[in-house]
Structure 1
Amino acid sequence: MSTPPSPSPARWFKALRRTRLGDPCLKTYPRDCGDLLRRARVAFEAGRTLKETFRLAQLEAVVRMLEEHEGDFVDALGRDLSKPRFETVVSELILVKNEALYAINNLKKWMQPQHVERNLSTTWDECLVVSEPLGVVFIMASWCSPVQMCLVPLVGAIAAGNCAVISPSEYTAHTAELLHRLTPFYLDNECFHVIIAGTYDLPEYVELKFDHVFFSGNRKEGSRIAQAAACTLTPVTLILGSKNPCYVDQHCDIATTAQRIAWARFHNAGQSLAAPDYILCHTDVKAQLVQALKCCLTQFYGSDPQESRSFGRIVNLEIFNCMRDTLWRSGKVAVGGQVIEAEKYIAPTILTEVVESDPIMQQDVFGPVLPVLTVYNLDEAISFINKQEKALCVYAYSSNSKVISRLMSATSSGSFCSNDSILQSLMVALPFGGVGASGMGSCHGRYSFDTFSHRKSCLLRGTWFECVTYLRYPPYEDRNLSLMTWASTLSHKSQGWCQIL
């Protein structure tokens, strides 16, 4: 198998200078990004990314980069989010490696044309759906999971045969700089580029006219990206934050439920697109659940989470201040509530006596705060969920399969998970994406490949059957129309007789 093309000596030394520890990465301006886009487009139009061997080599290079620089990624995410090593390796690095290895193992099958089932009208024809790459795509990653949300889409883009420009979030500056430094050593220098761009400048980059834009982040920024892309008719995939509800039924294992919800909500200090945003708890088990959640927090992070090496920090002061103000103006603190601005620390917090009008219920939660609301029955929970915008994820905890089935069918969301949280958003065989206000499109595995592919329909037909198809040509005669009308009545049972024309 071929290896990725080596950069030229001049470019190699330029990359080497960028990789010296302590060297800041300069911001990439739209003009510079335009130059990178043109380089990538030249490479794409030359057919550089089309061969299976090239794609496999690039995917293997992604895996090598993560394996050979695991310590660097742990250090970068530790600086950006105080993210524990365990969380970085499991939820960022292993997840991306699994995506790349899954793509490597399935690429040949994905690239093969898909034959459409034949009917009487296509007996002597060949009908195919061919997946072809879109061109040069733009990937913008959320700061919540800066490696995962940058490289999982990239794996799909590479597998589908595209070139790509990647923009890690400026909020996680150390991770962005690390990707900027390492990428030239592992991926093709003409096809793949990492830029350092300001969040508020991203729409200007989108207007450069890429062939597809993939964005993960909050709704406000996602809306600006979509508007900028619409100006050039650029297709978009949006993975957007939302108010992810979590229903807790009176019939469930409270101890396990609390453990799984607490892990999902307070992982990465609550900075997650897929974590439960609030609990709709049956009133009969509220006291038990709150007490179980309190016990879980002590078990996970000790009596003082500030001292725990398993608990992270808020990414920056802007997010910290927003989360602190929201916390102080919502409900009643049942557990936690401590904040330390100098450390960007917010303790794992459970809120009770929360009402729908509280600030915590009016915006996405990107911090370690979990509001608990009560409902009297499943119907009330469904009604509450359906009043809100469609969520990225809906969660349900119950030992009653009828409750799970009812909630899954009566609500609409990007994904659904029963008796656990977040895992459905990490599985390579399941699509992860939103619906309505939580986004459009999806990623993971084959779904990433399809996101970055154009599925071209192809009909391969000969000319010898003209003895029948002549009926469609002018001059139009009533006899020919009668034959075609008769054929169309047969098509209801024979799968398309009249299509033979």
Structure 2
Amino acid sequence: MTDGAMTGGIDDGIGDAIAATFTRLRTTYDSGRTRPHAWRRAQLDALRRMLREHRDDFAEAVHADLGKPVAETMLTELDLVAAEARFARDRIGLWTRRKPVVMPLALQPAAGWTVAEPKGVVLVIAPWNYPVLLTLEPLADALAAGNAVCVKPSELAPRTSALLARLIPRYLDPDAVAVVEGGAGETGALLAHPFDHVFYTGGERVGRIVMKAAAEHLTPVTLELGGKSPVFVDGTADLAVAARRIAWGRFTNAGQTCVAPDYVLATPDVAEALAERIAVAIREFYGDDPRCSPDYGRIVNVRHVERLRGLLPAAAASTAAPAGPARPTSSLIRVASVFGAVSDMVRRRLGSSGGGPAPDAAGRVVCGGVVDRAARYVAPTVLFGTSPDAPVMREEIFGPILPVLVVRDADAAIRFVNARPRPLAAYVFSRDRATRLAFERRTSSGALGFGLPLGHLLSARLPFGGVGASGMGAYHGKAGFDTFSHVKTVTVKPERPDTLRLVYPPFDAMTRGVVDVLRRLS
């Protein structure tokens, strides 16, 4: 995931305000106010009510910031937060219940158990790409665990940030939940305080800064970062289904999703046909000119538009828009699909690569390649025959560009993935059981999806988190509750009979005999 800036200073007035906010949250937490289950449930109910009563406001704010379609905001942000809050609310009693543990024979009679307690005052630093979901979902988990919470929305989504700052104090306990708006200066000022946990979603560069700042206070961190999430496709997959699912996962939110498919590794028998079928799926989803589609979003700012332009082949990245209707007719879609099927058959029988990739290391543009800086528009773009050394393969794309690379087989794909930093997700489209098992056992990623991109992001029952360069820690559901909780061990032993007298010094023959018996019985 790409970052905003983390540089710049802050004036004393803002620093004093942040210090006062931290002190207020600490005072509230120390009072015990956030610990009762009734308070936690009330906050989660209020969070859901806020989303329900201001659905249109949130949709409008996200659209203003990202050009995101209303339906997409509802499905991928508001509904997911509401589901997370409901899921956690209904399980607080279960998750906080004592968990008995059998004690060693040498300590009997004795009992032991673990209990989850809140960590204290926690900080949630949210990104801009899903400005509601990635702010409020970790907030819901932190509230379920009984913490006081400071939320820092992204300044790169200013309309959504302002809306959160206005609504959260109206619906949630203002003494226990605070919103701090601003940029890098405010984030730095927040990190100067000894929070009990810092939860950061964003890019690796700023993740290092957050972790370094937290280390000054020995504050534990959860880092939800990103990386280049690969997709592998072989000849056993249904190419039409794979193409639609890959296109959906890649181009939702204009590709600005941390677990979106970042590049495709495909075997030679299907690689070019798959690239063409993904182009067909794009036309099915967004029409001949996605710029005119109400269902296709925009890039967050001009800086990222220019960054993405630099990843395209030199011959692409024009600002000219293709002519044509907003959506293709059904007959055009059928013709394109038939053409794709015929192309598959011809290539399989002739073994042709269709002319091969262009000399540009980024590959040949199969579709898209159009950039409109003023409109913050980058067309959904598919590249075929991309070199592993191309600029588009050197960083997380985080935008609507999808390179398709040709690999010999699944073993080559696994070596390719393992030679790079471990990704936040990996996806496989193959019906071959041995291939699936090989990816499960021989690759490491935050999550692995067979035939389904983004699926683990949508379930409160599945932990979501990275590994290595893609992050540390996890959340969603029980995993989120655990992230914001400290699991405390409790032991108890009655005063009488004082069986420990059998092992007290001095260690005479009888004591040594007792210890020997206990050792054999343990």
TM exceeding 0.5 = yes
Structure 1 partner of 2:512 = 481
Structure 2 partner of 1:55 = 40
Structure 2 partner of 1:307 = 292
Q: Deviations over 1:79-105 (max 9, x none)?
A: 000000011000000000000010111
> Which of these residues, 67, 90, 110, is aligned with residue 95 of structure 2?
110
Which piece of structure 1 moves more, 101-110 or 122-131? 122-131
Structure 1 partner of 2:372 = 340
Which piece of structure 1 moves more, 354-363 or 169-178? 354-363
How far off is 1:401 after superposition?
A: 2.2
Structure 2 partner of 1:290 = 275
> Which of these residues, 378, 387, 392, is aligned with residue 410 of structure 2?
378
What CA distance in whole angstroms lies between the structure 1 residues aligned with 2:428 and 2:69? 28
**Letter of the structure 1 residue corresponding to residue 178 of structure 2:** H
Which piece of structure 1 moves more, 113-122 or 37-46? 113-122
What CA distance in whole angstroms lies between the structure 1 residues aligned with 2:141 and 2:13? 24
- Tell me if the contact between 1:243 and 1:364 (Cα under 8 Å) persists in the aligned partners: yes
TM-score (norm 1): 0.90
Matched, 1:209 2:224: no
Matched, 1:437 2:469: yes
> Which of these residues, 24, 28, 32, is aligned with residue 39 of structure 1?
24
> Which of these residues, 404, 428, 431, is aligned with residue 396 of structure 1?
428
- Tell me if the contact between 2:107 and 2:500 (Cα under 8 Å) persists in the aligned partners: no
- Tell me if the contact between 1:229 and 1:236 (Cα under 8 Å) persists in the aligned partners: yes
Structure 2 partner of 1:77 = 62
Matches for 1:351-390 after TM superposition, within 5 Å: 351-390=383-422
What CA distance in whole angstroms lies between the structure 2 residues aligned with 1:401 and 1:232? 48
What CA distance in whole angstroms lies between the structure 1 residues aligned with 2:207 and 2:435? 34
What CA distance in whole angstroms lies between the structure 1 residues aligned with 2:14 and 2:102? 49
What CA distance in whole angstroms lies between the structure 2 residues aligned with 1:108 and 1:304? 52
What CA distance in whole angstroms lies between the structure 2 residues aligned with 1:75 and 1:358? 38
Matched, 1:459 2:501: no
Structure 1 partner of 2:150 = 165
What CA distance in whole angstroms lies between the structure 2 residues aligned with 1:284 and 1:346? 30
Unaligned runs of 5+ in 2: 1-10, 315-361
Matches for 1:407-426 after TM superposition, within 5 Å: 407-426=439-458
3-state SS, counterpart of residue 29 of structure 1: helix
- Tell me if the contact between 1:27 and 1:195 (Cα under 8 Å) persists in the aligned partners: no
3-state SS, counterpart of residue 413 of structure 1: coil
What CA distance in whole angstroms lies between the structure 2 residues aligned with 1:62 and 1:219? 30
How far off is 1:117 after superposition?
A: 3.9
How far off is 1:119 after superposition?
A: 5.7
3-state SS, counterpart of residue 38 of structure 1: helix
Structure 2 partner of 1:448 = 480
Matched, 1:137 2:115: no
Q: Deviations over 1:6-35 (max 9, x none)?
A: xxxxxxxxxxxxxxxxxxxx9993331111
Matched, 1:472 2:472: no
Q: Deviations over 1:384-416 (max 9, x none)?
A: 010011111011111122211211111011111
Q: Deviations over 1:250-293 (max 9, x none)?
A: 21111000000000000000001110111011111012201210
Which piece of structure 1 moves more, 102-111 or 187-196? 102-111
1:27 to 1:335, Cα distance in 2 relative to 1, 3 A? farther
> Which of these residues, 447, 455, 459, is aligned with residue 427 of structure 1?
459
What CA distance in whole angstroms lies between the structure 2 residues aligned with 1:302 and 1:387? 37
Structure 2 partner of 1:271 = 256
How far off is 1:471 after superposition?
A: 3.3
Which piece of structure 1 moves more, 389-398 or 27-36? 27-36
Structure 2 partner of 1:87 = 72
How far off is 1:481 after superposition?
A: 3.0
1:481 to 1:123, Cα distance in 2 relative to 1, 3 A? closer
3-state SS, counterpart of residue 127 of structure 1: strand
- The size of the alignment, in residue pairs, is 465
Report the RMSD for the aligned CA atoms in angstroms.
Answer: 1.6
How far off is 1:168 after superposition?
A: 0.7
Structure 1 partner of 2:337 = none
How far off is 1:486 after superposition?
A: 3.7
TM-score (norm 2): 0.87
How far off is 1:49 after superposition?
A: 0.5
**Letter of the structure 2 residue corresponding to residue 480 of structure 1:** T
How far off is 1:141 after superposition?
A: 0.8
Matched, 1:180 2:212: no
3-state SS, counterpart of residue 270 of structure 2: helix
How far off is 1:123 after superposition?
A: 5.7
Structure 1 partner of 2:363 = 331
What CA distance in whole angstroms lies between the structure 2 residues aligned with 1:122 and 1:69? 57
What CA distance in whole angstroms lies between the structure 2 residues aligned with 1:69 and 1:27? 35
Q: Deviations over 1:413-466 (max 9, x none)?
A: 111111010011221000000111111111100111110000001112112232
- Tell me if the contact between 2:43 and 2:173 (Cα under 8 Å) persists in the aligned partners: yes
Structure 1 partner of 2:266 = 281
**Letter of the structure 1 residue corresponding to residue 515 of structure 2:** M
Matches for 1:216-255 after TM superposition, within 5 Å: 216-255=201-240
How far off is 1:37 after superposition?
A: 0.8
Q: Deviations over 1:471-500 (max 9, x none)?
A: 332223354234313422321xxxxxxxxx
Structure 2 partner of 1:5 = none
- Tell me if the contact between 1:28 and 1:196 (Cα under 8 Å) persists in the aligned partners: no
Which piece of structure 1 moves more, 324-333 or 299-308? 324-333
Matched, 1:100 2:132: no
Matched, 1:124 2:75: no
